[in-house]
């Protein structure tokens, strides 16, 4: 079994604690690798390396063209090892090999390619001011960026967080989730040598690494994707030095289906929104709001499709629905299912561990649908982060909007209707960062992503995501003869 070290200042190094975390295949329950459990001292060492690299200008002072070329090399290296990375991602997280192959790996590579070509956004912009001054806005890197990622999309989050931060000249310290680190460690092996020493560092491990990233005064910005409780802890620690934050937290996204929808398309969209990646998505359409006119018909079609999904080993190309990330996580999801029953929701299908010898050692769970859910129920309010759908009935547009917005979260939403005017008005009324109309899950490098309310703040991807990784400086030069100070008229 391979043991993987930390990558700090351009070298693979052991942790001072010499402890490891087992990477477990959730399809089989077998340990497949050992990941170093970094300590506070390791996080500090990585931060020092990043700060020294930034101050030296080895990366930050390179021309934008050179930084872009390096990012494109990273993208090409990821594509060259696509098959290997997809298999690792599937074995480490339980996501199907089809998803890892056709979505996760290429998305990661494409993100590096996109940001490698966005240099025009970094150029200084002249301001037109009605005064005798030459005024401009300059965009500069913040310095050391710490990134902490969730376990459900390790490769994709690596691209989202690292590519824009590097492109603008920052140096990065990166911590993948201790639940799923293996694919990111492999990427570091693949791209080692492309960047100057210290520009990009990897510290695997648990909570104490993340806490040091948030606490350290030498970290200028922290970008975090994870649960709300952890995000709140990050904010508390970061408040001691007022560093810049970008937080992408939980979600309880409403999927609103009107009676004038294309029903087959909406059923397919609802399936993807809750059962893709076994429902382990912050933007999962976990609350399905159905108009009363189509309520029974839609549920019948949806439950039939859910029960047809082929559950199996994530590495099998015929598998449509793999295991959850771990047995521990599955136990938590099962508790939510029991709570749903206790509070009076109607279990339509699923809700238990599938029977069969092939499922005994893994973290499998059947696709689960609850009907007759009230929005006040626990399963409608709390982020389950699993394949559990709560179906809520509504009668009017206003009622649908009220239910949809009745959540502490505001990450994403879906609207299904053939009425363009209705779709537009509903999308504007929804309090969330992304609205998909007659589709689900369109993530584009050009489009910013982030949430409202307790789903966090800041944006990733797009020009907006790039600007999150920068400082904005106003430079103002007096143009009067002799450079007379404008303030001199006061004295």
Which helix (H) or strand (E) segment holds residue 69: the answer is helix 64-80
Q: Within 10 Å of residue 296's Cβ, how many Cβ atoms?
A: 12
Token pair, residue 233, equals 């802890």
Q: What are phi and psi of 3, to 5 degrees?
A: -115, 130
Q: Within 10 Å of residue 317's Cβ, how many Cβ atoms?
A: 8
Whole-angstrom distance, CA of residue 87 vs CA of residue 64: 34
Q: Position of tokens 């001199």?
A: 488
Whole-angstrom distance, CA of residue 435 vs CA of residue 470: 27
Whole-angstrom distance, CA of residue 450 vs CA of residue 456: 7
Q: Position of tokens 């920068």?
A: 470
Question: Which DSSP letter does residue 169 get?
Answer: T
Strand pairing partners for 244?
221
Burial code (b: 16+ CB inside 10 Å, e: under 16) for 438-473 equals: bebbeeebeebbbbbbbbbbbbbbbeebbbbbbeee
Strand 20-24 and strand 31-36: the pairing is antiparallel
Whole-angstrom distance, CA of residue 305 vs CA of residue 316: 20
Q: Which of 212, 248, 460, 468 is catalytic?
A: 248
Any catalytic annotation for residue 261?
no
Whole-angstrom distance, CA of residue 339 vs CA of residue 334: 9
Q: Which of 108, 246, 261, 282 is catalytic?
A: 282
Greatest extent of the chain over all pairs of C-alpha atoms, in Å: 88
Question: Which DSSP letter does residue 143 get?
Answer: S
CA end-to-end span of the chain: 76
Any catalytic annotation for residue 432?
no
Q: Position of tokens 């040091």?
A: 212
Residue 366 · residue 351 · CB < 8 Å: yes
Q: How far does CA 105 lie from the centroid of its chain?
A: 14
Residue 174 · residue 147 · CB < 8 Å: yes
Residue 222 · residue 173 · CB < 8 Å: no
Q: List the catalytic residues.
A: 248, 282
């Amino acid at each position: 079994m391979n043991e993987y070290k930390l990558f700090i200042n351009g070298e693979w190094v052991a942790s001072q604690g010499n402890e490891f975390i087992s990477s477990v295949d959730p399809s089989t329950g077998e340990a497949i690798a050992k990941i170093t459990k970094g300590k506070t001292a390791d996080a500090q060492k990585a931060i020092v390396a990043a700060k020294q690299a930034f101050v030296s200008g080895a990366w930050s002072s390179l021309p934008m063209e050179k930084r872009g070329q390096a990012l494109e090399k990273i993208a090409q290296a990821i594509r060259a090892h696509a098959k290997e990375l997809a298999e690792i991602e599937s074995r480490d997280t339980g996501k199907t090999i089809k998803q890892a192959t056709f979505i996760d790996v290429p998305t990661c590579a494409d993100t590096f390619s996109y940001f490698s070509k966005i240099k025009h956004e970094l150029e200084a912009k002249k301001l037109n001011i009605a005064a005798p001054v030459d005024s401009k806005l300059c965009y500069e890197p913040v310095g050391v960026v710490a990134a902490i990622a969730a376990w459900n999309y390790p490769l994709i989050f690596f691209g989202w967080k690292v590519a824009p931060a590097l492109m603008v000249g920052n140096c990065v310290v990166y911590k993948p989730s201790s639940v799923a680190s293996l694919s990111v460690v492999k990427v570091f092996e693949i791209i080692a040598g492309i960047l100057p020493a210290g520009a990009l560092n990897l510290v695997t491990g648990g909570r104490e690494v993340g806490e040091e990233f948030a606490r350290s005064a030498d970290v200028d910005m922290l970008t975090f994707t994870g649960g709300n409780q952890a995000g709140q802890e990050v904010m508390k620690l970061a408040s001691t030095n007022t560093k810049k934050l970008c937080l992408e937290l939980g979600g309880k996204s409403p999927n609103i289906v009107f009676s004038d929808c294309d029903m087959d398309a909406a059923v397919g969209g609802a399936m993807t929104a809750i059962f893709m990646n076994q429902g382990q998505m912050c933007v999962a359409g976990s609350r399905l709001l159905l108009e009363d006119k189509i309520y029974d018909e839609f549920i019948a079609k949806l439950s039939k499709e859910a029960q047809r999904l082929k559950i199996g080993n994530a590495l099998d190309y015929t598998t449509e629905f793999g295991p959850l990330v771990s047995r521990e996580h599955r136990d938590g999801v099962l508790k939510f299912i029991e709570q749903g029953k206790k509070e009076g929701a109607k279990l339509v299908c699923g809700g238990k561990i599938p029977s069969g010898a092939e499922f005994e050692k893994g973290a499998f769970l059947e696709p689960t649908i609850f009907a007759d859910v009230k929005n006040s129920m626990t399963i409608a309010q709390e982020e389950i982060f699993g394949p559990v759908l709560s179906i809520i009935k509504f009668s009017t547009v206003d009622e649908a909007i009220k239910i949809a917005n009745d959540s502490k979260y505001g990450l994403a939403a879906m609207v299904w209707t053939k009425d363009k005017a209705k779709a537009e008005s509903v999308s504007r009324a929804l309090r969330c960062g992304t609205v998909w109309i007659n589709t689900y899950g369109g993530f584009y490098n050009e489009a910013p992503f982030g949430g409202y309310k307790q789903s966090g703040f800041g944006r990733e991807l797009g020009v907006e995501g790039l600007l999150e990784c920068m400082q904005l400086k106003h430079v103002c030069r007096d143009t009067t003869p002799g450079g007379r100070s404008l303030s001199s008229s006061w004295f």
